Amino acid sequence: EWIWLNNRHRKQRNAGCRYRFSGYRFSTASLCVNMSRHQGKQEERDFDGEELPSEFKLSRSKIMYVEDKSAGLEGEARIGRVYFSKSGKTLYYRGQKFQSLKGSGFKANYFEVESGDHYWISGPRKDQNDRLYGGNRGVEVDDGIYEEYIRSINT
């Protein structure tokens, strides 16, 4: 597992909390504590004060592929309109709020804030092979965006 450190060096985790850092090996308990705190960062965030926006702007939305990865590699998948927050860091879809895993997810790139479930959210593919291992079996397209979705993949 590779993790960026100070935007310059990379380190690789080895057994026993030993790290390879710029060609040197070292082992410290504080580094292990800091790493474990870093890896669980997305679940420790506090979102209690945030509410869903009162209105979504069409200009800050895209048609995207959303797949639930909480049950395994292939889960329920939909193509629908995803809305972005003003900063672009939070995504909203069907009453759910998503934030990035920032590269720490396994076959997933976002997590749902309330439940912590992992999701894969990306733009729809033009060849319609949106699923991880190809194909589009079981992928549902939301009502109201079907025509726009077909136009976007045919351009």
Q: Which tokens belong to 6?
A: 């100070």
Average pLDDT for 73-78: 93
Residue 155 CA, distance from chain mean position: 26
Average pLDDT for 30-50: 40
Residue 108 in 3-state DSSP?
coil
Strands in 24-27's sheet, in edge-to-edge order, are 2-5, 9-14, 18-21, 24-27
Q: Is the pLDDT of residue 130 over 70?
A: yes
Residue 6 CA, distance from chain mean position: 23
Closest among 60, 153, 71, 19 to 11, alpha carbons compared: 19
What is the overall mean pLDDT for the chain? 75
The pLDDT assigned to 51 comes to 58
The answer to pTM > 0.75 is no
Percent of the chain exceeding pLDDT 70 equals: 65
